[in-house]
Amino acid sequence: MKILALLGSPRPDGNTQAVLEIVLASAKQAGADSEAIQLSALKNLTGCMECFTCQQKADEPGCAIDDDMQAILDKATRADAIVWATPVFCWSPAWLVKTAMDRFFCMFKFDDSGSAKCLLRGRKMAAVISAGGSETDGADLVTETYRRLAELGQAQWLGALVAAKVENPDAIRADANLVERARAFGKKLAS
């Protein structure tokens, strides 16, 4: 099992990374191989231009934008599971992970009838979400965004782990209930 996690927090070593590290350590203990990419560390990340060049290639992403997303798109086509990790920013995913998500448009290949084939079909997809507020104060909207992406992508939706009302990474690591939920989620990803 190969897990690709895309970490969209603009703060390295922040709350989202603290939760994701617990999840991926548990997945590793359960036998999965994982790679987490900190999107804020990329030197060159551009949003989708909706040029539709990608639609000219049926069996590969085919994105025309030459930036750091090319390697991520390639890794996504080889991963068994994709985990979107983000804090809640104004009731939505953080801009870095939203930019990456928009670039996944090239994974969808549309025919003349508007039907889509997806290069991620059959993969697993999940989300790790951190929030300063409650689970129904934006995290629910972010969860629904990724659930719908999985549905459109014909991927198996494994759900979202929401770490609500988090204050800082140390408090996350000290929260026995949250740590146990994160470990269980990691095992679920690896199965």
**pLDDT tens for residues 64-86?**
999 999 999 999 999 999 999 99
With a cut of 80, say whether residue 36 has pLDDT above it.
Answer: yes
Segments in the chain forming alpha helices (H): 15-29, 69-78, 95-103, 140-152, 169-174, 176-190
| Contacting residues for 97 by C-beta, under 8 A, at least 6 apart | 6, 7, 8, 39, 84, 85, 86
Q: Which residues, listed in sequence order, are joined to residue 124 by a DSSP beta bridge?
A: 81, 156
Under a CB-based contact definition with an 8 Å cutoff, are residues 76 and 120 in contact?
A: yes
Say which CATH superfamily domain 2-190 falls into.
Answer: Flavodoxin domain (3.40.50.360)
Domain ranges of the chain: 2-190
Q: What is the mean pLDDT of the chain?
A: 94
Output the CA–CA distances (angstroms, integers) from residue 77 to 44, 70, 88, 108, in the order listed. 20, 11, 26, 12
* Per-residue pLDDT, 101: 94
* Per-residue pLDDT, 150: 96
> How would residue 115 be classed by pLDDT, with cut points 50, 70 and 90?
confident
User: pLDDT tens, 15-27?
Assistant: 999 999 999 999 9
User: pLDDT tens, 100-114?
Assistant: 999 999 999 988 887
